[in-house]
Chain A
Amino acid sequence: MIKLKNITAGYNNVEVIKNINIAFEEASITTIIGKNGCGKTTLLKTAANILKAFKGEVILKDRNISSFSNKELAKKLSFLPQIRKVPNITVYNLVMHGRYPYLDFLRVPQQKDKEIVQKTIEDMALGKYINKNIYELSGGQRQKVYIAMLLAQDTDIIFLDEPTTYLDINHQLEILEIIKRLKKMGKTIVMVLHDLNNALSYSDKICLMDKGEIVIYDSPEKVFESREIDRVFKVYSSQITFEDEMPKQYLFNLK
């Protein structure tokens, strides 16, 4: 369980998010939505301890997050940044980097690490790329490799900053299905998404932000009904329900 208490944070003394209080639910998908610059990524980074808060505290398992050592924390939560470098190494080596927090002083991966990496790569259907250089892969495949690295890190809490941005529709849905599978494994997922339809149809909880504050934090259904999305994004949203088991879909038009 991870929660933020009275968090104020930002960059270079400029407050981007103000007085945030939120507790993320275990074994569920929470998606943060909001306009560009409203503080979604700042909130995510503060929760993941990538960014230090000006005020307030992040509580992880009843302890202040800064009381954990770097490696201890890296075994409990992982973070996928929005902009990443494309390192010039093989898929296997990148996924192995997920085991970094578990390596001892000599940094030599043990048999167990190798097995985990091998299994993760196969689970993500990346087996045939295992010795390929990441440069040779498409954007969608690269994203899967990065997520495989996160899985090898094997943390209970996973933060993802726009995991589907720049991907084609097939890869977007594939990534979202993987995220759903992670939830079923008991992982707590907190992510930022720009695609509102995906956010509403894949999440258990939606956190809508505006101007550095949380407007509403509730189930997708309740958030939709509140009409706050319409107000914040200046759009008109409608819901499409299907007769069979298909999840609800959402449409957005300019007001």
Chain B
Amino acid sequence: MNILQKFFTRINLNKNSKSYNAAVIAFLLMLLIIGVFLSISFGSSKISLSEIFNAMRQGDPGSKVYKIISFVRIPRTLAAVLAGCALSVSGAILQSVLNNSLASPGIIGVNSGAGLFAVLIAAFFPANIYYTTFAAFTGAFVAVLLVYYIAKETGASRMAIVLSGVAVSSFIGAATDTVLTLKPDVVMERTAFLIGGFSGVTMDRLSFAAFFIIIAFIVALILSYDMNILALGDETAKSLGLNVRRFRFIFLILVAMLAGAAISFAGLLGFVGLIIPHVSRFLVGYDNRILIPVSALLGSIFTLLCDLLARVIFAPYEIPVGIIMSFLGGPFFIYLLIKGRRGQLYD
């Protein structure tokens, strides 16, 4: 990423200036568009760009290419874009609002809540497995409300939220394990959910989640300036006229909506939510007004890229995208930490 940064400074754009930010956004948008085309084109069978255009223009529902594109590739691409965007933005919001560099959606119980509800459906209502998306989303939401309620009783401080998140996650995790012990036959479902991935995503499963992601993303953009104020600390924010508790609650709900919706169709891809906001800050700094859109774009690009690799590395076999993500993201993140010598930013 510092190559990128050097590139932008080399072409005479000052960091933090509006033109620098615009250049970063334009560059990322370009990458995203390229990524989307690659993602539609590559897979167990390769479809060339001209074939894609021809198939879509003719719109013949009977053709094989059209079927693959509209029922497999497009839903999958959209899923990667939406999940990457949602998880990164929710991570960026949480890290800013809780002032904790280690915060990712999992920390406030989103993952465990979604996991429990998904497992409950699989174990007790296997006939209704279709509702897993909805259940995971509800689970994430319930867990966050529980975390917030406990934190509120103890003053809703940042630390209270993190600690009650850990406690609630561990409790819900135990509940999930209990269900799995009593009903061992659902274990397979759970493994796929834990690693996360986009194979088998359909348009109807996606549209429900997409609705929440888009709404939450727009609200996050509108409230990004309030997020900056909240990051000044509770007392300063309050003296500037910000209702600290109310906004912290709104932001937690946004995080739950974004992460819960993404988890509901993609499983636990929590790592994106941790690293992408950090990489984005490295590029554009800490102003949430620019950080939120850049996180969204970078998250989408990264997830798209990982999913692409997951499909093509051992084609025709497929590796779960979560594995690729950790293999790629982990070392890259460590590289950033060392190379960027960012210690001073994290004291």
Q: Which residues of A contact B (CB under 8 A)?
A: 45, 48, 50, 70-75, 77-81, 84-85, 87-90, 93, 97-98, 100-101, 103, 106-107, 131, 135, 153
Contacts and interface: CB of A to CB of B under 8 A. Distances in A.
Q: Is the interface of A mostly helix, strand, loop or mixed?
A: mixed
A81 B222 contact: no
A84 B228 CA distance: 14
Interface in B198-254: 222, 225-226, 228-229, 231-233, 235-236, 238-243
A48 B16 CA distance: 34
Interface of B: 14, 16, 99, 222, 225-226, 228-229, 231-233, 235-236, 238-243, 281, 285-287, 344-345
A90 B345 contact: no
A92 to B, nearest CB: 9
A84 B240 contact: no
Given A100-B229, A103-B225, A131 B241 contact: no
B239 A84 contact: no
B240 A101 contact: yes
Given A81-B235, A84-B233, A106-B222, A101 B241 contact: yes
B286 A89 contact: yes
Given A85-B231, A87-B231, A153 B240 contact: yes
Closest 6 pairs (CB-CB, A-B):
A74-B241, A79-B239, A107-B225, A71-B241, A101-B241, A88-B286
Contact of B345 (A71, A103, A135): A135
Contacts of B281: 88
B239 A74 contact: yes
B99 A73 contact: no
Given A75-B241, A79-B235, A103-B225, 14 more contacts: A74-B241, A81-B235, A81-B239, A87-B228, A87-B232, A88-B281, A88-B285, A88-B286, A89-B286, A89-B287, A97-B228, A106-B222, A107-B226, A135-B345
A50 B239 contact: yes
Contacts of B240: 74, 78, 97-98, 100-101, 153
